[in-house]
Protein backbone atom coordinates (compact mmCIF):
# COMPACT_ATOMS: atom_id res chain seq x y z
CA UNK A 1 0.00 0.00 0.00
CA UNK A 2 1.37 3.42 0.88
CA UNK A 3 3.41 2.87 4.05
CA UNK A 4 6.77 2.83 2.27
CA UNK A 5 8.73 6.01 1.60
CA UNK A 6 7.87 6.10 -2.13
CA UNK A 7 4.24 5.38 -1.23
CA UNK A 8 4.25 8.17 1.35
CA UNK A 9 5.72 10.62 -1.15
CA UNK A 10 3.26 9.55 -3.84
CA UNK A 11 0.35 10.12 -1.45
CA UNK A 12 1.83 13.50 -0.45
CA UNK A 13 1.98 14.60 -4.10
CA UNK A 14 -1.61 13.43 -4.64
CA UNK A 15 -2.80 15.53 -1.67
CA UNK A 16 -0.71 18.56 -2.71
CA UNK A 17 -2.03 18.26 -6.27
CA UNK A 18 -5.60 18.18 -5.01
CA UNK A 19 -5.01 21.29 -2.87
CA UNK A 20 -3.42 23.25 -5.69
CA UNK A 21 -6.12 22.24 -8.15
CA UNK A 22 -8.79 23.34 -5.65
CA UNK A 23 -7.02 26.62 -5.07
CA UNK A 24 -6.57 27.32 -8.78
CA UNK A 25 -10.29 26.82 -9.19
CA UNK A 26 -11.34 28.77 -6.12
CA UNK A 27 -8.68 31.51 -6.26
CA UNK A 28 -10.06 33.24 -3.16
CA UNK A 29 -7.01 32.57 -0.97
CA UNK A 30 -4.58 33.51 -3.73
CA UNK A 31 -6.38 36.73 -4.65
CA UNK A 32 -6.89 37.75 -1.01
CA UNK A 33 -3.23 37.04 -0.15
CA UNK A 34 -2.01 39.12 -3.11
CA UNK A 35 -4.41 42.00 -2.42
CA UNK A 36 -3.40 41.87 1.23
CA UNK A 37 0.31 41.94 0.26
CA UNK A 38 -0.22 44.90 -2.08
CA UNK A 39 -2.08 46.81 0.64
CA UNK A 40 0.65 46.26 3.22
CA UNK A 41 3.36 47.32 0.77
CA UNK A 42 1.36 50.44 -0.11
CA UNK A 43 0.88 51.31 3.56
CA UNK A 44 4.59 50.82 4.29
CA UNK A 45 5.51 52.95 1.32
CA UNK A 46 3.16 55.84 1.98
CA UNK A 47 3.66 55.85 5.75
CA UNK A 48 7.43 56.22 5.34
CA UNK A 49 8.91 59.70 5.74
CA UNK A 50 11.38 59.83 2.81
CA UNK A 51 13.38 62.62 4.46
CA UNK A 52 14.27 60.48 7.50
CA UNK A 53 14.21 56.89 6.13
CA UNK A 54 15.50 55.78 2.74
CA UNK A 55 13.41 53.26 0.83
CA UNK A 56 16.19 50.68 0.73
CA UNK A 57 16.52 50.79 4.55
CA UNK A 58 12.90 49.85 5.03
CA UNK A 59 12.44 47.65 1.96
CA UNK A 60 13.76 44.27 3.18
CA UNK A 61 11.73 44.33 6.42
CA UNK A 62 8.64 45.57 4.60
CA UNK A 63 8.93 42.79 2.02
CA UNK A 64 9.27 40.02 4.57
CA UNK A 65 6.58 41.34 6.90
CA UNK A 66 4.29 41.47 3.88
CA UNK A 67 5.17 37.91 2.91
CA UNK A 68 4.65 36.71 6.49
CA UNK A 69 1.14 38.11 6.76
CA UNK A 70 0.22 36.94 3.27
CA UNK A 71 1.42 33.46 4.24
CA UNK A 72 -0.69 33.47 7.40
CA UNK A 73 -3.73 34.37 5.29
CA UNK A 74 -3.01 31.39 3.04
CA UNK A 75 -2.17 28.95 5.84
CA UNK A 76 -5.39 29.70 7.69
CA UNK A 77 -7.23 28.14 4.71
CA UNK A 78 -5.11 25.00 4.56
CA UNK A 79 -7.19 22.83 6.87
CA UNK A 80 -10.40 24.84 6.79
CA UNK A 81 -11.17 23.28 3.37
CA UNK A 82 -10.77 19.82 4.87
CA UNK A 83 -13.45 20.55 7.46
CA UNK A 84 -16.11 21.90 5.11
CA UNK A 85 -17.79 18.56 4.38
CA UNK A 86 -15.82 16.39 6.77
CA UNK A 87 -13.26 15.69 4.04
CA UNK A 88 -10.60 15.36 6.72
CA UNK A 89 -12.20 12.07 7.79
CA UNK A 90 -11.73 10.82 4.25
CA UNK A 91 -8.04 11.66 4.42
CA UNK A 92 -7.66 10.06 7.84
CA UNK A 93 -9.40 6.90 6.64
CA UNK A 94 -7.21 6.57 3.57
CA UNK A 95 -4.51 3.90 3.82
CA UNK A 96 -1.70 6.44 3.95
CA UNK A 97 0.50 7.37 6.91
CA UNK A 98 -0.28 10.63 8.70
CA UNK A 99 3.17 11.83 7.61
CA UNK A 100 1.95 11.73 4.00
CA UNK A 101 -0.92 13.98 4.99
CA UNK A 102 1.52 16.45 6.56
CA UNK A 103 3.88 16.36 3.58
CA UNK A 104 1.00 16.81 1.14
CA UNK A 105 -0.44 19.81 2.95
CA UNK A 106 3.07 21.21 3.48
CA UNK A 107 3.98 20.92 -0.22
CA UNK A 108 0.69 22.48 -1.29
CA UNK A 109 1.15 25.36 1.16
CA UNK A 110 4.80 25.79 0.16
CA UNK A 111 4.01 26.14 -3.55
CA UNK A 112 1.13 28.46 -2.73
CA UNK A 113 3.18 30.77 -0.47
CA UNK A 114 6.11 30.81 -2.94
CA UNK A 115 3.69 31.85 -5.70
CA UNK A 116 2.36 34.65 -3.47
CA UNK A 117 5.93 35.75 -2.73
CA UNK A 118 6.79 35.59 -6.42
CA UNK A 119 3.87 37.89 -7.23
CA UNK A 120 4.67 40.17 -4.29
CA UNK A 121 8.29 40.69 -5.39
CA UNK A 122 7.53 42.82 -8.49
CA UNK A 123 5.04 44.84 -6.43
CA UNK A 124 7.77 45.37 -3.87
CA UNK A 125 10.19 46.56 -6.59
CA UNK A 126 7.49 48.88 -7.91
CA UNK A 127 6.55 50.41 -4.54
CA UNK A 128 10.07 50.76 -3.13
CA UNK A 129 11.86 51.49 -6.39
CA UNK A 130 14.70 49.11 -5.53
CA UNK A 131 16.96 47.49 -8.09
CA UNK A 132 17.27 43.71 -8.13
CA UNK A 133 20.35 43.81 -10.35
CA UNK A 134 22.23 40.61 -9.60
CA UNK A 135 20.29 40.11 -6.34
CA UNK A 136 17.40 38.12 -7.77
CA UNK A 137 18.92 34.58 -7.62
CA UNK A 138 20.04 35.20 -4.02
CA UNK A 139 16.62 36.56 -3.03
CA UNK A 140 14.95 33.54 -4.63
CA UNK A 141 17.24 31.19 -2.69
CA UNK A 142 16.62 32.93 0.62
CA UNK A 143 12.87 33.03 -0.09
CA UNK A 144 12.81 29.26 -0.56
CA UNK A 145 14.93 28.63 2.54
CA UNK A 146 12.90 30.95 4.78
CA UNK A 147 9.54 29.81 3.45
CA UNK A 148 10.19 26.08 3.94
CA UNK A 149 10.67 26.55 7.68
CA UNK A 150 7.72 28.74 8.50
CA UNK A 151 5.36 26.89 6.18
CA UNK A 152 6.24 23.61 7.96
CA UNK A 153 5.40 25.14 11.34
CA UNK A 154 2.39 26.90 9.85
CA UNK A 155 1.02 23.65 8.44
CA UNK A 156 1.11 22.06 11.91
CA UNK A 157 -0.53 25.08 13.55
CA UNK A 158 -3.09 25.29 10.79
CA UNK A 159 -4.12 21.69 11.56
CA UNK A 160 -4.02 22.38 15.30
CA UNK A 161 -6.23 25.45 15.15
CA UNK A 162 -8.62 24.40 12.37
CA UNK A 163 -11.13 22.94 14.82
CA UNK A 164 -10.69 25.65 17.43
CA UNK A 165 -13.00 28.61 17.88
CA UNK A 166 -11.45 31.90 16.71
CA UNK A 167 -8.91 29.95 14.67
CA UNK A 168 -8.24 32.99 12.44
CA UNK A 169 -6.92 34.68 15.58
CA UNK A 170 -5.18 31.67 17.07
CA UNK A 171 -3.08 30.83 14.02
CA UNK A 172 -1.13 34.12 13.82
CA UNK A 173 -0.75 34.25 17.63
CA UNK A 174 0.86 30.81 17.63
CA UNK A 175 2.75 31.08 14.37
CA UNK A 176 4.26 34.56 14.35
CA UNK A 177 6.77 33.89 17.18
CA UNK A 178 8.03 30.87 15.24
CA UNK A 179 8.34 32.99 12.10
CA UNK A 180 10.73 35.47 13.72
CA UNK A 181 14.02 33.55 13.16
CA UNK A 182 13.48 32.81 9.45
CA UNK A 183 12.06 36.28 8.81
CA UNK A 184 14.96 37.98 10.59
CA UNK A 185 17.43 35.89 8.61
CA UNK A 186 15.64 36.49 5.33
CA UNK A 187 15.43 40.25 5.94
CA UNK A 188 19.16 40.44 6.77
CA UNK A 189 20.20 38.50 3.67
CA UNK A 190 17.81 40.50 1.47
CA UNK A 191 19.21 43.79 2.84
CA UNK A 192 22.76 42.65 2.13
CA UNK A 193 21.86 41.53 -1.39
CA UNK A 194 20.01 44.78 -2.18
CA UNK A 195 23.10 46.69 -1.04
CA UNK A 196 25.14 44.79 -3.61
CA UNK A 197 26.92 42.50 -1.12
CA UNK A 198 27.76 38.97 -2.31
CA UNK A 199 25.57 36.11 -1.15
CA UNK A 200 28.49 34.31 0.49
CA UNK A 201 28.81 37.18 2.95
CA UNK A 202 25.49 36.05 4.41
CA UNK A 203 26.55 32.42 4.76
CA UNK A 204 25.89 32.49 8.52
CA UNK A 205 22.26 33.52 8.04
CA UNK A 206 21.82 30.97 5.27
CA UNK A 207 23.13 28.24 7.60
CA UNK A 208 20.69 29.38 10.27
CA UNK A 209 17.82 29.16 7.79
CA UNK A 210 18.93 25.69 6.71
CA UNK A 211 19.19 24.45 10.30
CA UNK A 212 15.77 25.97 11.07
CA UNK A 213 14.27 24.19 8.05
CA UNK A 214 15.74 20.80 8.93
CA UNK A 215 14.76 21.13 12.59
CA UNK A 216 11.20 22.28 12.06
CA UNK A 217 10.35 20.05 9.11
CA UNK A 218 11.55 17.08 11.18
CA UNK A 219 9.70 18.21 14.32
CA UNK A 220 6.55 18.88 12.32
CA UNK A 221 6.69 15.40 10.79
CA UNK A 222 6.99 13.90 14.27
CA UNK A 223 4.30 16.03 15.92
CA UNK A 224 1.70 16.05 13.14
CA UNK A 225 0.35 12.48 13.53
CA UNK A 226 -0.46 13.14 17.20
CA UNK A 227 -2.79 16.02 16.23
CA UNK A 228 -5.32 13.53 14.90
CA UNK A 229 -5.19 11.12 17.81
CA UNK A 230 -8.60 12.11 19.19
Residues that bind other proteins (CB under 8 A): 1-3, 7, 11, 14-15, 18, 21-23, 25-26, 81, 84-87, 89-97, 229-230
Residue whose CB is less far from other proteins, 26 or 54: 26
d(CA 197, CA 175): 31
Residue whose CB is less far from other proteins, 81 or 130: 81
How large is the C-alpha radius of gyration of the chain?
18
Q: Which of 152, 169, 161, 166 is nearest to 214 (CA)?
A: 152
For residue 180, the minimal CB distance to other proteins (Å) is 34
DSSP assignment, residue 164? Answer: S
At residue 69's C-alpha, the angle toward residues 182 and 60, to 5°, is: 55
List of residues 6+ apart from 11 with CB closer than 8 A? 2, 94, 96, 97, 100, 101, 104
For residue 221, the minimal CB distance to other proteins (Å) is 15
Residue whose CB is less far from other proteins, 22 or 57: 22
For residue 158, the minimal CB distance to other proteins (Å) is 17
For residue 8, the minimal CB distance to other proteins (Å) is 9
Residue whose CB is less far from other proteins, 15 or 151: 15
For residue 82, the minimal CB distance to other proteins (Å) is 9
Residue whose CB is less far from other proteins, 93 or 200: 93
Q: What is the DSSP string of 178-222?
A: HHHHHHHHHHHHHHHHHTT--GGGGHHHHHHHHHHHHHHHHHHHH
Amino acid sequence: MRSSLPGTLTAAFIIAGKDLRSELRRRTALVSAIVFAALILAIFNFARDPTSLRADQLAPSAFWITCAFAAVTALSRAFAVELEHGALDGLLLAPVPREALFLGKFLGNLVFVLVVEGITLPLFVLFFNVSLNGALPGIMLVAVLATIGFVAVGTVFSALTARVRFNELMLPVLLLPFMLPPLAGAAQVTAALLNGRPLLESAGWLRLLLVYDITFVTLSLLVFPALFDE
